Each structure stands twice: as structure tokens, then as C-alpha cells.
Amino acid sequence: MTAHKSFRIIVAFTLSFLLLPFVSSAQEDMPADPSDEAFNPTDMIMHHIGDAHGWHFFGSGEQSVTLPLPVILYTDNGLVTFMSSEFHHDTEGQYVVEKDGMQFVNYHETIYQLNPGEEQIAFNEEGEATNAVKPYDFSITKNVAAMFVTVIVMIIFFFGLARHHKKDTKAPRGINSALEALVLFVRDDIAIPQIGEKKYMKFMPFLLTVFFFIWITNLLGLLPGAANVTGNIAVTAALGLFTLVLIVVNGNRDYWKHTFWMPGVPTGVKPILAVVETMGLLIKPIALMIRLFANITAGHIIILSLFSLIFILETAGVASISVPFVLFMTVLELLVAFLQAFIFTMLSALFIGMAVEEHEHH
């Protein structure tokens, strides 16, 4: 049976390779579109994994289907808000939006405020704008909107589970039972072993929220057209900061003593260890931040690169290789989505557990 299956796969592969020359020749026969620029995978990938002011689904240029999102800017003259659709899908800094006597352009999803009297943005060789400033950008970007989607999903799921628990003491059924199993997983396999039976309850809201936020956001990020929220360093930085704050706020006397004046080592070594431990305190959340960001972004880049192969080689036949690989990567990403949520929560719990641990006095 298995041999039969693998045989069929081999036949399919061989056939698609045989088709390659025909497909490419068909491509060549087509009249070249003069407006068609050379495909640039880096731009495409960066566009997909980066943040944006509108939620782009498909199409390009004026025809693209994009969900407009509010742009909120804090300029020297106060707050300015308008919808991202006012840029008319322009991200090259060409289209100037006039608001409250100020001119704004969107250059590669960074919004610049043109200096008065300027018509077009100009850059120097370092890529810095010479005639425009960057206002503080608090826009509801694609990532922020995706964040809200996660929040809504979490509210729907867990308020439902909470409703069940309020009126029934029996075990839940259906999706609630799966959600409860995950809640129990966070409690019994992350919080209690790392923090301890006595103190874990205080940190459960953070651990559960961060676990499900990362996991659901990771999963939603795998959908076509979705945002790459957990693969954005600002998002993971904020999440890491929460862990850092919890460590600093909840660290007990023993923890700080072990950080700044390690007991049981020679006095001469103590200052050195204090420097190392202080660095360690900061490196922990930074490691959390980079791990989540890099893992999720890397997954997206690999999937997009595999797709790019089709356009780089300009043959649809490559799809027969790309698509199975992408499929494999996507399934792997499903695992990574859970794994990274687990690791982030696990390490947060571990660090918090270290900070609140009661040491036996030697």
C-alpha cells in the first residue's frame, strides 16, 4: 500500500518535471508586459512579514482589496487621524495626504510628515528623509487590528468556557473541553511545576493570557492574508517586558540577594557576579523577545521564499515542488505556533518561579 502510494507520488513528480519546458515556453510566448517589473522576492517577503497601515488581502495597485485602518499620528500640532485608504494604496511616498494643513506620505509603511512647502519626499544615501519628519505613529495598523481579532477570538472562546463553569460543575463538552484541557496544561505542566503549588495562582492570569494570546495569534498568522503579529519585534518586546516587570515586582529578598550579592562565593567574585546576574536579568526577557520573533518570522520567510521560487524561476511547474514544501512547512508552523507559545510561557513561568522561590537558609 505504502509502496503503491510513494510510486504514485514519484509519477506525479516526474510528470510535472516533464511539463516544465512546456510551461516555461508558454511563458516566453506571452507578450512581455512593459509595466511588469522584475520580481523582487525581498520586497515581497518584507511586505508580507512587515506591518502595514491597511489590511491588504489581494490584488495590486488601485485594484487591490484592502481593509482601510485608522491612521493616528501625534504631530507637533497634536493628534491627526484619517483612514489609511486616503493614501490610495500608495507606499512609495508619491501620494500626499493633506490634513490640518500638514502633508503626510506613506513611504514603505512609514508615515512621514513633509516639511511645509515640500511636494515630494527626498532621501539621502543613508535612506534618511531630508525634507520630512516622522510623527509619532499610533495607527491601528494591520498588526494592531490582528491583535484585536485575537482578543475577540479569546473573548468568544474563554467567556464561553467561563459561562459553562459558572452554571455547571460537570466537565465541559465540545470545544470547551479542548480549551479546558489547554488551561489545565498551562496550570499543571507550566505554572505549578515552575512556580510551585503555593504561589502559582497569582501568575495564572498572566501565563494563561500570554499563552493563548501567542498561540492564537500564531495560528491566525498562518492564515492567508493574515498579519505577522508575533513575528514583529515590537510585539514580542512588549510581551517580554511583561515578564521582566513581573520578575522585578515579585522578586523576593533572596532573589535580589542572589542577584546583587551572591551568598557563598568569595567577596572578590561578588561584584563580578552582580554584573553578570544583572545582565542576565535583562537578557532573559530579551531572549524571550528574540526567540518568539525570530521563530515566527523565520517560518513566514521560509514559506514565502518557497512560493517566491515559482516567480523567480518564472515557471508554474516549480509549484509542484514548492507547494508540497510549503504544505510541509505550514504543518510544521502549526507545531511551531504551539511550541513557541509553550516555550514563552514556560520560560516566563521559570523566570518568575526563580524570582519568587523560597530558598532554604544554609
Partner 1 sequence: MVAKQALFNVAYNHYSYITMDLITPDFGLFFWQTIVMLILIFLMAKYAWKPILQGIRKREQNINDALDSAENAKKEMQNLKADNERLLQEARVERDNMIKEARAIKDQIIAEAKQDAQKEADKLIEQARATIQVERNAAMADIKNQVATLSVQIAEKVLRQELSSDTKQQKLVEDMIEDVTLN
CB of 59 to partner 1, least distance (A): 23
How many angstroms separate the CA atoms of 63 and 59, rounded? Answer: 6
Site string for partner 1, 181-210 (x = CB under 8 A): --xx--x-------------x--xxx-xxx
Q: Is 188 left (phi over 0), alpha (psi -120 to 50) or beta?
A: alpha
In the complex, minimum distance from the CB of residue 191 to partner 1, in angstroms, rounded to a whole number: 10
Q: How far apart, in Å, do the first and last CA atoms of the chain sit? A: 65
Query: Pick from 9, 171, 175, 323: which binds partner 1 (CB under 8 A)?
Result: 171
The 54-73 site mask, x for binding partner 1 (CB under 8 A), equals ------------------x-
State the Cα–Cα distance between residues 355 and 362, nearest whole angstrom: 18
Return the SS3 of 320: helix
Q: State yes or no: residue 12 binds partner 1 (CB under 8 A).
A: no
- Listed ranges 18-26, 149-157, 280-288, 310-318: which one lies at the site for partner 1 (CB under 8 A): 149-157
Which residues in 298-357 contact partner 1 (CB under 8 A)?
Answer: none
Query: Which one, 193 or 324, has the nearer CB to partner 1?
Result: 193
Query: Phi first, then psi: what are they for 347, rounded to 5°?
Result: -70, -40
Sign for the CA dihedral angle at 253, 259, 264, 268 comes to negative
Please state, in angstroms and rounded to a whole number, the distance separating the CA atoms of residues 117 and 129: 15
Q: Does 136 bind partner 1 (CB under 8 A)?
A: yes
DSSP letter, residue 70: E
The C-alpha torsion from 301 through 151 and 331 to 57, rounded to 10°, is -50
Near partner 1 in 217-236, by CB under 8 A: 232-235
Distance CA 1, CA 4 (A): 5
Among 2, 60, 169, 267, interactor with partner 1 by CB under 8 A: 169
Of 66, 106, 139, 194, the one binding partner 1 (CB under 8 A) is 139
Task: Report the 10 Å Cβ neighbour count for 74.
Answer: 12
Strand ranges inside 36-85, DSSP E: 54-58, 65-68, 70-75, 78-83
Residue among 294, 297, 293, 292 nearest 344 (CA): 292
- Tell me if 26 contacts partner 1 by CB under 8 A: no
Q: Which is nearer to partner 1, 121 or 235 (CB)?
A: 235
8 A C-beta contact, residue 74 and residue 138: yes
| Residue 126 found at the interface with partner 1 (CB under 8 A) | yes
State which of residues 108, 173, 257, 359 lies at the interface with partner 1 (CB under 8 A).
108
Check binding of 144 to partner 1 (CB under 8 A): yes
Residues 6+ apart with CB under 8 A from 133: 112, 113, 115
137 binds partner 1 (CB under 8 A): yes
The residue within the footprint of partner 1, chosen from 4, 33, 37, 42 (CB under 8 A), is 42
What are the backbone dihedrals phi and psi of residue 221, each rounded to the nearest 5 degrees, phi first? -65, -20
Which listed range, 13-21, 80-88, 178-186, 306-314, lies at the site for partner 1 (CB under 8 A)?
Answer: 178-186
**Of 164, 258, 284, 300, the one binding partner 1 by CB under 8 A:** 164
Q: How many CB atoms lie within 10 A of CB 194?
A: 21
Binding site for partner 1 (CB under 8 A): 42-43, 46, 49-51, 72, 108, 110, 125-127, 136-141, 143-144, 147-148, 151, 154-155, 158-159, 161-162, 164-166, 169-171, 180, 183-184, 187, 201, 204-206, 208-210, 213, 232-235, 237-239, 241-242, 293, 297
